[in-house]
C-alpha cells in the first residue's frame, strides 16, 4: 500500500495534486504536520487540510509536533483514518494512543531512527500502525538511512510474535530503486513523497513502486 506524502507536492495546486496522485493509484494521503519545535520545519494544520474539501481516499496525519495531545481532536474531526504520534514527544504514550482510538481513529506510533524498538513494546496492544522513520523527520527528499532496515526487521518480528493486527509502515527516502529492499525488511505500507511528486508521471511511478513490492514478496516465498 502506498501512502503519498504531500510534503513534496506543489502547494500552490494542493487539491489538484491530491486528486492527481490518488487517480494515479495512491492508496492514502499522508499529512506531515510539523511545528518547528520537534522538527526544524513548519508545515500545515487542520484548517489548511479542511479547506481542501473531501479527499478521494483516507488520510493519515503524521504529527511531528510537541504536545501532540492538543491535536488529536482537530485531526480526528477532519476525518483522518490514522493519527500517528511520535514516542519521543510524550510522557504518556498509552494515554495518548488510547485517546486517538477514543476519537474514532486508528492509533499510530512513530519512532525516530535513533529510538530503539523497546520504546514501543509496552504499547503494542494499543497500536494499529507502527511508523518507522527511515530518515530523521523534518524534510522531504532525504536519503534513506540503511541501518534502520535492521530495526524494521526487529519490529516486524516483534509484531508477529505479539499476534496483534498492526500495520508496519516506513517513512522517508523510499523510492522505486529501494522499495523492494524495504519490503523485504517487513514493511507493508510505504510513505513516499519526493519519490512520487518529483517524478513526471505519477501513475507509472506508483505502478512501479507497487510492482517492486509485489516482486519482493514473490521472491521471498
**Residues annotated as part of the active site:** 32, 171
- Based on the shown chain and the rule CB under 5 A, indicate whether residue 35 belongs to the binding site for Zn ion: no
Binder of ligand DX5 out of 7, 82, 148, 213 (CB under 6 A): 7
The residue among 217, 3, 220 whose CA lies nearest residue 110 is: 3
Residue nearest to ligand DX5 (CB): 193
In this complex, which beta carbon is closest to Zn ion, that of residue 155 or of residue 160? 155
Binder of ligand DX5 out of 109, 172, 176, 205 (CB under 6 A): 172
The residue among 184, 140, 147, 166 whose CA lies nearest residue 11 is: 140
H or E stretch at 186: none
From ligand DX5, Zn ion, none, interface partner of 192 (C-beta below 5 to 8 A by class): ligand DX5
Q: How many CB atoms lie within 10 A of CB 74?
A: 18
Q: Which residues contact 198 (CB under 8 A, 6 or more apart)?
A: 8, 141
Q: In the complex, what is the shortest distance from the CB of residue 40 to ligand DX5, in angstroms, rounded to a whole number?
A: 10
Cell of 206: 506508483
User: Can you give the binding site for ligand DX5, defined by CB under 6 A?
Assistant: 5, 7-8, 30, 32, 62, 135, 137-138, 140-142, 171-174, 191-195
Amino acid at each position: 500500500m502506498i501512502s503519498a506524502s504531500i510534503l513534496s507536492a506543489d502547494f500552490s495546486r494542493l487539491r489538484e495534486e491530491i486528486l492527481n496522485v490518488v487517480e494515479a493509484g495512491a492508496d492514502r494521503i499522508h499529512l506531515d504536520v510539523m511545528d518547528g519545535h520537534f522538527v526544524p520545519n513548519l508545515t500545515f494544520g487542520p484548517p489548511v487540510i479542511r479547506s481542501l474539501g473531501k479527499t478521494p481516499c483516507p488520510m493519515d496525519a503524521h504529527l511531528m509536533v510537541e504536545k501532540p495531545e492538543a491535536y488529536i481532536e482537530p485531526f480526528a474531526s477532519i476525518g483522518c483514518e490514522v493519527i500517528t504520534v511520535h514516542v519521543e514527544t510524550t510522557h504518556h504514550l498509552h494515554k495518548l494512543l488510547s485517546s486517538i482510538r477514543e476519537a474514532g481513529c486508528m492509533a499510530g506510533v512513530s519512532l525516530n531512527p535513533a529510538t530503539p524498538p523497546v520504546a514501543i513494546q509496552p504499547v503494542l496492544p494499543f497500536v494499529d500502525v507502527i511508523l518507522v522513520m527511515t530518515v530523521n523527520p523534518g524534510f522531504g527528499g532525504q536519503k534513506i538511512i540503511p541501518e534502520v532496515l535492521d530495526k524494521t526487521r526487529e519490529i516486524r518480528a516483534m509484531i508477529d510474535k505479539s499476534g496483534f493486527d498492526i500495520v508496519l509502515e516506513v517513512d522517508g527516502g523510499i523510492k522505486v530503486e529501494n522499495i523492494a529492499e524495504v519490503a523485504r525488511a517487513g514493511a507493508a505500507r510505504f510513505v513516499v513523497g519526493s519519490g512520487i511528486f518529483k517524478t513526471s508521471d505519477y501513475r507509472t511511478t506508483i505502478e512501479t513502486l507497487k510492482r517492486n513490492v509485489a516482486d519482493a514478496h514473490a521472491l521471498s516465498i
